[in-house]
């Protein structure tokens, strides 16, 4: 079986994907510069597509990041 690309990741992985410390990632999420996580059965996960969208210069619209 081939590699399966993740569609949602934990905070540490999301921070690593963006080459920053988890504390910096958390601060940017809290300030609204990065999307909030979605909750899945009590787990917080970030959609990879949401993070990519921000990095591609698409404006943050908080309505797009709520579940």
Q: CA distances (Å), 51 to each of 1, 2, 40, 44, in order?
A: 26, 24, 17, 14
pTM for the full model? Answer: 0.79
Of the pLDDT bands very low, low, confident and very high (cuts 50, 70, 90), residue 65 is very low
Q: CA distances (Å), 61 to each of 5, 16, 53, in order?
A: 25, 23, 11
Give me the pLDDT at residue 66, please: 46
Domain that holds residue 13: 8-58
Q: Provide the number of structural domains found in the chain.
A: 1
Indicate whether 49 belongs to any domain: yes
Indicate whether 23 belongs to any domain: yes
Indicate whether 1 belongs to any domain: no
Of the pLDDT bands very low, low, confident and very high (cuts 50, 70, 90), residue 58 is confident
Indicate whether 19 belongs to any domain: yes
Nearest to 36 by CA among 23, 50, 22: 50
Indicate whether 65 belongs to any domain: no
Of the pLDDT bands very low, low, confident and very high (cuts 50, 70, 90), residue 47 is very high
């Amino acid at each position: 079986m081939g590699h399966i690309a993740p569609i949602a990741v934990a905070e540490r992985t999301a921070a690593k994907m963006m080459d920053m410390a988890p504390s910096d990632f958390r601060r940017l999420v809290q300030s609204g510069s990065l999307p909030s996580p979605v909750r899945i059965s009590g787990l917080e996960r970030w959609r990879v597509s949401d993070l990519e969208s921000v990095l591609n210069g698409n404006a943050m619209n908080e309505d797009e990041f709520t579940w």
